[in-house]
């Protein structure tokens, strides 16, 4: 709020208070009424959307397969207790999405049959079976854990 706007609101409040006092309104009501223009000015200033910055703040960036994806996956794994320790379809979908992003960094795709041998060599047969939609295996928590460990090893190989 600028100094001119504050001064204008205060002046309006004083004039309103003086007018009400001259009419014979009690002092507590005069004080409350005198504060109203200042409060309205503050509310109008905050609701205008102008925060005083010269440029828009940068949009938050996040890369796919980052921490938020792992958090969502962990909640999907914990959200339902199923018979036989089976994992929900949502959790399997999130796991496959995470694996797709991590494998895409190496130029591989779970959807491409030509990449199967290289992916099996990188992740292992159990992890590959849990990650592929073509597999008849319904992943349970153990399979998901094996796949996540394989993906973690894949990231370790990238950083070394």
Q: What are the tens digits of pLDDT across the range 7-60? A: 888 899 999 999 999 999 999 999 999 999 888 888 877 765 555 555 555 555
Dihedral angle computed from the Cα positions of residues 140, 145, 150 and 156, in that order, rounded to the nearest 10 degrees: 160
32 in the same domain as 83: no
139 in the same domain as 98: yes
Cβ atoms 154, 122 nearer than 8 A: yes
| C-alpha to C-alpha distance for 103 and 120, rounded to whole angstroms | 11
Identify whether 143 is part of a domain.
yes
Identify whether 137 is part of a domain.
yes
Q: 20: domain range?
A: 3-47
Whole-structure pTM value: 0.48
Supply the pLDDT for residue 95.
84
Cβ atoms 60, 116 nearer than 8 A: no
Average pLDDT, the chain: 77
Identify whether 152 is part of a domain.
yes
Identify whether 53 is part of a domain.
no
72-87 confidence digits (pLDDT tens): 666 666 545 555 667 7
| C-alpha to C-alpha distance for 126 and 133, rounded to whole angstroms | 13
Q: Residue 68: which residues within 8 A CB-CB, separation 6 or more?
A: 62
């Amino acid at each position: 709020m600028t100094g001119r706007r504050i001064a204008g609101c205060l002046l309006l409040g004083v004039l309103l208070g003086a007018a009400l006092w001259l009419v014979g309104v009690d002092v507590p009501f005069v004080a409350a009424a005198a504060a109203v223009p200042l409060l309205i000015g503050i509310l109008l200033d905050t609701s205008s959307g102008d925060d005083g910055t010269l440029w828009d703040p940068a949009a938050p960036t996040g890369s796919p397969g980052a921490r938020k994806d792992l958090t969502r996956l962990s909640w999907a794994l914990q959200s339902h207790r199923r018979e036989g320790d089976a994992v929900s379809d949502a959790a399997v979908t999130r796991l496959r999405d995470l694996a797709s992003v991590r494998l895409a960094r190496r130029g591989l795709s779970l959807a491409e049959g030509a990449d199967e041998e290289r992916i099996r060599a990188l992740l292992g047969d159990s992890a590959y079976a849990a990650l592929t939609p073509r597999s008849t295996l319904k992943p349970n928590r153990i399979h998901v854990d094996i796949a996540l460990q394989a993906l973690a090893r894949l990231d370790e190989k990238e950083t070394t």
